[in-house]
Structure 1
Amino acid sequence: MNGLEVLPLAVTMMLGPQIISAIIFVTTPRPVRVSLGFLAGVAIATAAGTAIMRGLAALLGNGVELGSSDDHGSTGQIIQYVLVGLLAAAALKSWLGRATAEPPKWMKTLMSAEPGRAFKVGLLLILAMPSDLVIMATVGIHLETHGASYAEALPFIALTVLVAALPLLGLLLFHKRAEAAMPRARDWLNTHSWLVNIIVYLIFIVIIL
Protein backbone atom coordinates (compact mmCIF):
# COMPACT_ATOMS: atom_id res chain seq x y z
CA MET A 1 0.00 0.00 0.00
CA ASN A 2 1.44 3.37 -1.01
CA GLY A 3 1.27 6.60 0.96
CA LEU A 4 -1.68 7.94 -1.00
CA GLU A 5 -3.69 4.86 -0.04
CA VAL A 6 -2.53 4.68 3.58
CA LEU A 7 -2.86 8.31 4.67
CA PRO A 8 -6.67 8.62 4.24
CA LEU A 9 -7.14 5.32 6.07
CA ALA A 10 -4.89 6.40 8.95
CA VAL A 11 -6.64 9.78 9.24
CA THR A 12 -10.08 8.14 9.18
CA MET A 13 -8.98 5.71 11.91
CA MET A 14 -8.65 8.64 14.31
CA LEU A 15 -11.65 10.75 13.32
CA GLY A 16 -14.43 10.95 15.88
CA PRO A 17 -14.07 10.09 19.60
CA GLN A 18 -10.49 8.93 18.94
CA ILE A 19 -9.00 12.33 18.10
CA ILE A 20 -11.28 14.07 20.60
CA SER A 21 -9.90 11.79 23.33
CA ALA A 22 -6.32 12.53 22.21
CA ILE A 23 -7.01 16.26 22.55
CA ILE A 24 -8.66 15.82 25.95
CA PHE A 25 -5.64 13.89 27.23
CA VAL A 26 -3.24 16.77 26.45
CA THR A 27 -5.41 19.04 28.60
CA THR A 28 -5.11 16.81 31.68
CA PRO A 29 -2.78 17.67 34.62
CA ARG A 30 -0.20 15.11 33.36
CA PRO A 31 -0.61 15.38 29.60
CA VAL A 32 2.58 13.66 28.43
CA ARG A 33 2.29 10.50 30.53
CA VAL A 34 -1.44 10.17 29.92
CA SER A 35 -1.05 10.77 26.17
CA LEU A 36 1.77 8.22 25.92
CA GLY A 37 -0.48 5.66 27.58
CA PHE A 38 -3.19 6.43 25.02
CA LEU A 39 -0.75 6.16 22.11
CA ALA A 40 0.51 2.80 23.36
CA GLY A 41 -3.06 1.53 23.40
CA VAL A 42 -3.70 2.83 19.88
CA ALA A 43 -0.49 1.28 18.55
CA ILE A 44 -1.10 -2.16 20.06
CA ALA A 45 -4.77 -2.22 19.07
CA THR A 46 -4.05 -1.17 15.47
CA ALA A 47 -1.22 -3.66 15.08
CA ALA A 48 -3.22 -6.51 16.62
CA GLY A 49 -6.43 -5.62 14.81
CA THR A 50 -4.73 -5.51 11.43
CA ALA A 51 -3.02 -8.85 12.07
CA ILE A 52 -6.33 -10.44 13.11
CA MET A 53 -8.12 -9.10 10.03
CA ARG A 54 -5.35 -10.38 7.76
CA GLY A 55 -5.61 -13.77 9.45
CA LEU A 56 -9.38 -13.84 8.95
CA ALA A 57 -8.94 -12.93 5.29
CA ALA A 58 -6.48 -15.81 4.91
CA LEU A 59 -8.87 -18.25 6.63
CA LEU A 60 -11.81 -17.23 4.45
CA GLY A 61 -9.71 -17.43 1.30
CA ASN A 62 -11.92 -17.70 -1.73
CA GLY A 63 -14.88 -18.99 0.22
CA VAL A 64 -16.94 -16.00 -0.88
CA GLU A 65 -16.85 -14.88 -4.51
CA LEU A 66 -17.55 -11.17 -4.60
CA GLY A 67 -17.15 -10.91 -8.34
CA SER A 68 -15.28 -8.47 -10.55
CA SER A 69 -15.24 -4.77 -9.71
CA ASP A 70 -16.43 -4.16 -13.30
CA ASP A 71 -19.51 -6.32 -12.80
CA HIS A 72 -22.13 -3.92 -11.43
CA GLY A 73 -24.45 -6.80 -10.58
CA SER A 74 -21.88 -8.78 -8.60
CA THR A 75 -22.26 -9.51 -4.90
CA GLY A 76 -19.33 -7.24 -4.14
CA GLN A 77 -20.88 -4.30 -5.98
CA ILE A 78 -24.26 -4.84 -4.32
CA ILE A 79 -22.60 -4.87 -0.88
CA GLN A 80 -20.82 -1.63 -1.77
CA TYR A 81 -24.08 0.03 -2.83
CA VAL A 82 -25.78 -1.07 0.40
CA LEU A 83 -22.89 0.25 2.52
CA VAL A 84 -22.92 3.58 0.70
CA GLY A 85 -26.68 3.84 1.25
CA LEU A 86 -26.33 3.11 4.97
CA LEU A 87 -23.49 5.60 5.35
CA ALA A 88 -25.46 8.28 3.50
CA ALA A 89 -28.45 7.62 5.79
CA ALA A 90 -26.21 7.85 8.87
CA ALA A 91 -24.76 11.15 7.63
CA LEU A 92 -28.27 12.51 7.09
CA LYS A 93 -29.29 11.38 10.59
CA SER A 94 -26.27 13.17 12.09
CA TRP A 95 -27.19 16.34 10.19
CA LEU A 96 -30.83 16.25 11.29
CA GLY A 97 -29.86 15.60 14.91
CA ARG A 98 -27.09 18.19 15.07
CA ALA A 99 -29.05 20.54 17.34
CA THR A 100 -29.25 17.97 20.16
CA ALA A 101 -26.02 16.06 19.51
CA GLU A 102 -23.79 15.55 22.54
CA PRO A 103 -20.49 13.72 23.08
CA PRO A 104 -20.63 10.38 24.93
CA LYS A 105 -20.95 10.72 28.70
CA TRP A 106 -17.80 8.65 29.31
CA MET A 107 -15.76 11.25 27.45
CA LYS A 108 -16.47 13.81 30.14
CA THR A 109 -14.54 11.68 32.66
CA LEU A 110 -11.30 11.59 30.64
CA MET A 111 -9.97 14.82 32.17
CA SER A 112 -9.10 12.87 35.32
CA ALA A 113 -7.72 9.81 33.51
CA GLU A 114 -4.45 8.18 34.56
CA PRO A 115 -1.99 6.61 32.03
CA GLY A 116 -3.41 3.13 32.67
CA ARG A 117 -6.93 4.20 31.86
CA ALA A 118 -5.74 6.18 28.85
CA PHE A 119 -4.07 2.99 27.58
CA LYS A 120 -7.37 1.08 27.90
CA VAL A 121 -9.22 3.90 26.13
CA GLY A 122 -6.73 3.71 23.26
CA LEU A 123 -7.29 -0.03 22.96
CA LEU A 124 -11.07 0.14 23.11
CA LEU A 125 -11.49 3.10 20.78
CA ILE A 126 -9.70 1.15 18.04
CA LEU A 127 -10.94 -2.38 18.67
CA ALA A 128 -14.54 -1.51 19.54
CA MET A 129 -15.23 1.10 16.85
CA PRO A 130 -17.03 -0.40 13.83
CA SER A 131 -15.44 2.20 11.53
CA ASP A 132 -11.92 1.26 12.64
CA LEU A 133 -12.69 -2.45 12.32
CA VAL A 134 -13.81 -1.85 8.74
CA ILE A 135 -10.60 0.03 7.93
CA MET A 136 -8.38 -2.65 9.47
CA ALA A 137 -10.37 -5.29 7.59
CA THR A 138 -9.75 -3.33 4.39
CA VAL A 139 -6.00 -3.31 5.07
CA GLY A 140 -5.96 -6.99 6.04
CA ILE A 141 -7.88 -8.05 2.92
CA HIS A 142 -5.59 -5.92 0.75
CA LEU A 143 -2.52 -7.64 2.22
CA GLU A 144 -3.98 -11.09 1.72
CA THR A 145 -5.31 -10.60 -1.80
CA HIS A 146 -2.01 -9.10 -2.95
CA GLY A 147 0.12 -11.74 -1.22
CA ALA A 148 1.83 -9.02 0.82
CA SER A 149 3.58 -9.61 4.12
CA TYR A 150 2.38 -8.09 7.37
CA ALA A 151 5.38 -5.74 7.23
CA GLU A 152 3.62 -3.81 4.46
CA ALA A 153 0.97 -2.77 6.99
CA LEU A 154 3.57 -1.06 9.19
CA PRO A 155 3.29 2.33 7.38
CA PHE A 156 -0.48 2.25 8.00
CA ILE A 157 0.05 1.43 11.69
CA ALA A 158 2.76 4.08 12.07
CA LEU A 159 0.67 6.78 10.37
CA THR A 160 -2.34 5.94 12.54
CA VAL A 161 -0.24 6.40 15.68
CA LEU A 162 1.26 9.60 14.24
CA VAL A 163 -2.20 11.07 13.66
CA ALA A 164 -3.15 10.09 17.21
CA ALA A 165 0.03 11.80 18.46
CA LEU A 166 -0.61 15.13 16.74
CA PRO A 167 -2.18 16.81 19.80
CA LEU A 168 0.76 15.71 21.98
CA LEU A 169 3.30 16.80 19.35
CA GLY A 170 1.54 20.15 19.13
CA LEU A 171 1.79 20.53 22.90
CA LEU A 172 5.51 19.68 22.91
CA LEU A 173 6.39 21.89 19.95
CA PHE A 174 4.15 24.89 20.71
CA HIS A 175 3.86 24.62 24.46
CA LYS A 176 2.21 27.91 25.46
CA ARG A 177 0.16 28.32 22.29
CA ALA A 178 -0.97 24.69 22.42
CA GLU A 179 -2.01 25.00 26.07
CA ALA A 180 -4.31 27.84 25.05
CA ALA A 181 -5.53 26.28 21.81
CA MET A 182 -6.17 22.67 22.86
CA PRO A 183 -9.04 23.37 25.30
CA ARG A 184 -10.76 25.45 22.60
CA ALA A 185 -10.25 22.66 20.07
CA ARG A 186 -11.59 20.13 22.59
CA ASP A 187 -14.70 22.21 23.27
CA TRP A 188 -15.32 22.79 19.55
CA LEU A 189 -15.06 19.07 18.77
CA ASN A 190 -17.36 18.26 21.68
CA THR A 191 -20.04 20.62 20.37
CA HIS A 192 -19.53 19.61 16.73
CA SER A 193 -19.32 15.84 17.12
CA TRP A 194 -22.14 15.55 14.58
CA LEU A 195 -19.96 17.27 11.96
CA VAL A 196 -17.04 14.93 12.69
CA ASN A 197 -19.39 11.97 12.21
CA ILE A 198 -20.56 13.30 8.85
CA ILE A 199 -16.96 13.77 7.70
CA VAL A 200 -16.16 10.17 8.68
CA TYR A 201 -19.18 8.85 6.78
CA LEU A 202 -18.29 10.86 3.66
CA ILE A 203 -14.68 9.65 3.73
CA PHE A 204 -15.91 6.07 3.93
CA ILE A 205 -18.22 6.64 0.97
CA VAL A 206 -15.28 7.95 -1.06
CA ILE A 207 -13.11 4.98 -0.01
CA ILE A 208 -15.83 2.47 -0.95
CA LEU A 209 -16.55 4.06 -4.31
Structure 2
Amino acid sequence: MDSLKILPLAVTMMVGPQIMSAVVLVTVREAVRVSLAFLLGVAVATTAGVAIMRGLAALLGSAVDLGDPSQDGSLGLIIQYVLVGLLAAAAVKNWVGRETIEPPAWLGTLMSATPGRAFRVGLLIILLMPSDLIVMATVGVHLEQTGGSFAAALPFIALTVLIAALPLLAYLLFRRRAEAAMPRVRDWMNANSWLVNIVVCVIFIVLILT
Protein backbone atom coordinates (compact mmCIF):
# COMPACT_ATOMS: atom_id res chain seq x y z
CA MET A 1 0.00 0.00 0.00
CA ASP A 2 1.18 3.51 -0.86
CA SER A 3 1.25 5.02 2.62
CA LEU A 4 2.05 8.46 1.21
CA LYS A 5 -1.30 8.36 -0.57
CA ILE A 6 -3.40 6.87 2.20
CA LEU A 7 -2.08 8.83 5.19
CA PRO A 8 -3.43 12.23 4.02
CA LEU A 9 -6.91 10.69 3.93
CA ALA A 10 -6.79 10.83 7.73
CA VAL A 11 -7.21 14.60 7.43
CA THR A 12 -10.64 14.19 5.84
CA MET A 13 -11.68 11.77 8.58
CA MET A 14 -11.77 14.60 11.09
CA VAL A 15 -12.56 17.72 9.06
CA GLY A 16 -16.18 18.75 9.55
CA PRO A 17 -18.50 17.95 12.48
CA GLN A 18 -15.82 15.53 13.70
CA ILE A 19 -13.22 18.20 14.50
CA MET A 20 -15.99 20.59 15.54
CA SER A 21 -16.98 18.03 18.18
CA ALA A 22 -13.39 17.84 19.43
CA VAL A 23 -13.25 21.64 19.68
CA VAL A 24 -16.55 21.83 21.57
CA LEU A 25 -15.44 19.17 24.05
CA VAL A 26 -12.36 21.12 25.15
CA THR A 27 -14.63 23.99 26.15
CA VAL A 28 -16.73 21.95 28.61
CA ARG A 29 -16.15 21.15 32.28
CA GLU A 30 -13.78 18.21 32.81
CA ALA A 31 -12.49 18.90 29.31
CA VAL A 32 -9.57 16.47 29.58
CA ARG A 33 -11.60 13.45 30.74
CA VAL A 34 -14.38 14.13 28.25
CA SER A 35 -11.95 14.66 25.37
CA LEU A 36 -10.00 11.48 26.16
CA ALA A 37 -13.24 9.50 26.12
CA PHE A 38 -14.05 11.04 22.74
CA LEU A 39 -10.62 10.08 21.39
CA LEU A 40 -11.09 6.51 22.60
CA GLY A 41 -14.37 6.36 20.72
CA VAL A 42 -12.71 7.70 17.56
CA ALA A 43 -9.90 5.14 17.85
CA VAL A 44 -12.27 2.20 18.35
CA ALA A 45 -14.59 3.31 15.55
CA THR A 46 -11.79 3.94 13.06
CA THR A 47 -10.14 0.62 13.80
CA ALA A 48 -13.43 -1.27 13.49
CA GLY A 49 -14.46 0.68 10.40
CA VAL A 50 -11.23 0.01 8.53
CA ALA A 51 -11.36 -3.67 9.49
CA ILE A 52 -14.93 -3.96 8.21
CA MET A 53 -14.16 -2.13 4.97
CA ARG A 54 -11.06 -4.27 4.47
CA GLY A 55 -13.22 -7.37 4.84
CA LEU A 56 -15.84 -6.05 2.42
CA ALA A 57 -13.14 -5.16 -0.10
CA ALA A 58 -11.72 -8.68 0.24
CA LEU A 59 -15.16 -10.16 -0.45
CA LEU A 60 -15.55 -7.91 -3.47
CA GLY A 61 -12.04 -8.75 -4.64
CA SER A 62 -12.77 -12.47 -4.45
CA ALA A 63 -15.85 -12.00 -6.63
CA VAL A 64 -14.41 -9.59 -9.20
CA ASP A 65 -10.94 -8.41 -10.15
CA LEU A 66 -10.30 -4.97 -8.70
CA GLY A 67 -7.23 -4.68 -10.92
CA ASP A 68 -3.91 -3.00 -10.29
CA PRO A 69 -3.91 0.56 -8.90
CA SER A 70 -1.70 1.64 -11.83
CA GLN A 71 -4.29 0.52 -14.39
CA ASP A 72 -6.56 3.37 -15.47
CA GLY A 73 -9.49 1.07 -16.17
CA SER A 74 -9.26 -1.06 -13.04
CA LEU A 75 -12.45 -1.56 -11.05
CA GLY A 76 -10.74 -0.25 -7.95
CA LEU A 77 -10.04 3.08 -9.64
CA ILE A 78 -13.53 3.20 -11.12
CA ILE A 79 -14.94 2.85 -7.60
CA GLN A 80 -12.75 5.73 -6.47
CA TYR A 81 -13.92 7.90 -9.39
CA VAL A 82 -17.53 7.18 -8.43
CA LEU A 83 -16.70 8.37 -4.93
CA VAL A 84 -15.18 11.54 -6.41
CA GLY A 85 -18.44 12.16 -8.27
CA LEU A 86 -20.47 11.75 -5.08
CA LEU A 87 -18.18 14.12 -3.19
CA ALA A 88 -18.35 16.71 -5.98
CA ALA A 89 -22.15 16.54 -5.87
CA ALA A 90 -22.06 16.98 -2.09
CA ALA A 91 -19.79 20.04 -2.43
CA VAL A 92 -22.15 21.62 -4.97
CA LYS A 93 -25.14 20.89 -2.71
CA ASN A 94 -23.41 22.60 0.22
CA TRP A 95 -22.59 25.64 -1.92
CA VAL A 96 -26.13 25.99 -3.28
CA GLY A 97 -27.68 25.64 0.18
CA ARG A 98 -25.04 27.60 2.07
CA GLU A 99 -27.51 30.26 3.24
CA THR A 100 -29.71 27.74 5.05
CA ILE A 101 -27.21 25.06 6.16
CA GLU A 102 -26.72 24.91 9.90
CA PRO A 103 -24.46 22.69 12.02
CA PRO A 104 -26.04 19.50 13.39
CA ALA A 105 -28.30 20.26 16.35
CA TRP A 106 -26.57 17.62 18.47
CA LEU A 107 -23.34 19.65 18.46
CA GLY A 108 -24.96 22.09 20.86
CA THR A 109 -25.79 19.30 23.30
CA LEU A 110 -22.10 18.43 23.67
CA MET A 111 -21.63 21.39 26.00
CA SER A 112 -23.00 19.18 28.78
CA ALA A 113 -21.38 15.93 27.60
CA THR A 114 -20.15 13.35 30.09
CA PRO A 115 -17.22 11.00 29.32
CA GLY A 116 -19.71 8.25 28.45
CA ARG A 117 -21.58 10.50 26.05
CA ALA A 118 -18.31 11.71 24.52
CA PHE A 119 -17.21 8.12 23.92
CA ARG A 120 -20.46 7.34 22.12
CA VAL A 121 -20.15 10.48 20.03
CA GLY A 122 -16.60 9.48 19.06
CA LEU A 123 -17.90 6.10 17.93
CA LEU A 124 -20.94 7.28 16.03
CA ILE A 125 -19.37 10.34 14.40
CA ILE A 126 -16.99 7.99 12.58
CA LEU A 127 -19.21 4.99 11.93
CA LEU A 128 -22.27 6.98 10.84
CA MET A 129 -20.61 9.85 8.97
CA PRO A 130 -20.93 9.31 5.17
CA SER A 131 -17.63 11.07 4.42
CA ASP A 132 -15.76 8.86 6.90
CA LEU A 133 -17.37 5.71 5.52
CA ILE A 134 -16.19 6.77 2.05
CA VAL A 135 -12.65 7.35 3.33
CA MET A 136 -12.53 3.98 5.09
CA ALA A 137 -13.97 2.28 2.00
CA THR A 138 -11.16 3.86 -0.03
CA VAL A 139 -8.61 2.54 2.46
CA GLY A 140 -10.16 -0.93 2.24
CA VAL A 141 -10.02 -0.93 -1.56
CA HIS A 142 -6.36 0.17 -1.47
CA LEU A 143 -5.51 -2.61 0.95
CA GLU A 144 -7.19 -5.19 -1.25
CA GLN A 145 -5.66 -3.88 -4.48
CA THR A 146 -2.13 -3.81 -3.11
CA GLY A 147 -2.40 -6.97 -1.00
CA GLY A 148 -1.75 -5.05 2.19
CA SER A 149 -2.66 -6.51 5.56
CA PHE A 150 -4.72 -4.68 8.16
CA ALA A 151 -1.45 -3.67 9.85
CA ALA A 152 -0.70 -1.47 6.84
CA ALA A 153 -3.62 0.74 7.88
CA LEU A 154 -2.38 1.31 11.43
CA PRO A 155 -0.48 4.53 10.57
CA PHE A 156 -3.70 5.87 9.00
CA ILE A 157 -5.67 5.02 12.15
CA ALA A 158 -3.01 6.56 14.40
CA LEU A 159 -2.92 9.78 12.35
CA THR A 160 -6.72 10.02 12.44
CA VAL A 161 -6.66 9.85 16.25
CA LEU A 162 -3.79 12.35 16.40
CA ILE A 163 -5.73 14.86 14.31
CA ALA A 164 -8.77 14.33 16.54
CA ALA A 165 -6.51 15.06 19.53
CA LEU A 166 -5.21 18.41 18.23
CA PRO A 167 -7.76 20.56 20.12
CA LEU A 168 -6.97 18.70 23.35
CA LEU A 169 -3.23 19.01 22.77
CA ALA A 170 -3.63 22.75 22.16
CA TYR A 171 -5.66 22.97 25.37
CA LEU A 172 -2.99 21.16 27.39
CA LEU A 173 -0.05 23.06 25.90
CA PHE A 174 -1.55 26.55 25.80
CA ARG A 175 -4.19 26.35 28.52
CA ARG A 176 -5.04 30.04 28.97
CA ARG A 177 -4.78 30.99 25.31
CA ALA A 178 -6.70 27.89 24.28
CA GLU A 179 -9.47 28.58 26.78
CA ALA A 180 -9.90 32.00 25.19
CA ALA A 181 -9.49 30.90 21.57
CA MET A 182 -11.44 27.63 21.42
CA PRO A 183 -14.89 29.17 22.00
CA ARG A 184 -14.23 31.59 19.11
CA VAL A 185 -13.08 28.72 16.90
CA ARG A 186 -16.18 26.76 17.89
CA ASP A 187 -18.49 29.66 17.05
CA TRP A 188 -16.79 30.32 13.69
CA MET A 189 -17.05 26.67 12.65
CA ASN A 190 -20.71 26.58 13.67
CA ALA A 191 -21.43 29.69 11.62
CA ASN A 192 -19.51 28.41 8.58
CA SER A 193 -20.34 24.70 8.64
CA TRP A 194 -21.20 24.78 4.91
CA LEU A 195 -17.68 25.99 4.10
CA VAL A 196 -16.14 23.31 6.32
CA ASN A 197 -18.15 20.64 4.48
CA ILE A 198 -17.00 21.92 1.09
CA VAL A 199 -13.37 21.94 2.24
CA VAL A 200 -13.75 18.30 3.31
CA CYS A 201 -15.08 17.29 -0.10
CA VAL A 202 -12.41 19.22 -2.02
CA ILE A 203 -9.53 17.82 0.06
CA PHE A 204 -10.78 14.27 -0.39
CA ILE A 205 -11.24 14.73 -4.15
CA VAL A 206 -7.70 16.09 -4.52
CA LEU A 207 -6.25 13.24 -2.46
CA ILE A 208 -8.03 10.59 -4.53
CA LEU A 209 -7.06 12.09 -7.88
CA THR A 210 -3.40 12.77 -7.08
State TM-score, norm by structure 2: 0.90
**1:93 matched to 2:97:** no
SS of the residue corresponding to residue 29 of structure 1 reads coil
- 1:6 matched residue in structure 2: 6
| Deviation, structure 1 residue 84 | 3.2
Q: Which aligned pairs between 1:117-196 and structure 2 lie closer than 5 A?
A: 117-196=117-196
**Counterparts of residues 42-53 of structure 1 (less than 5 Å):** 42-53=42-53
- Paired residues of 1:38 and 1:118 also in contact (CA < 8 A): yes
Counterparts of 1:136 and 1:175, CA distance in 2: 33
Percent of aligned pairs with the same residue?
71
**Alignment check: 8 A CA contact 1:6 1:155 kept:** no
CA distance in structure 1 between the aligned counterparts of 2:39 and 2:89, rounded to whole angstroms = 32
For 1:144 and 1:205, how far apart are their aligned partners in 2?
Answer: 21
Amino acid of the structure 2 residue aligned with 1:14:
M
Task: Write the distance in 2 (CA, Å) between the matches of 1:15 and 1:129.
Answer: 11
Secondary structure at 2:28 match in 1: coil
- Distance in 1 (CA, whole Å) between partners of 2:79 and 2:152 is 27
| Change over 3 Å in CA distance of 1:44–1:75 after alignment to 2 | closer
Alignment of structure 1 residues 17-28 onto 2, 5 Å: 17-28=17-28
* Runs of at least 5 residues in structure 1 that lack an aligned partner in the other structure: none
Distance 1:83 1:37 in 2: 31
* Number of residue equivalences: 207
Shift of residue 79, structure 1, vs aligned partner: 4.9
Which stretch of the first structure deviates more once superposed, 94-103 or 171-180?
94-103
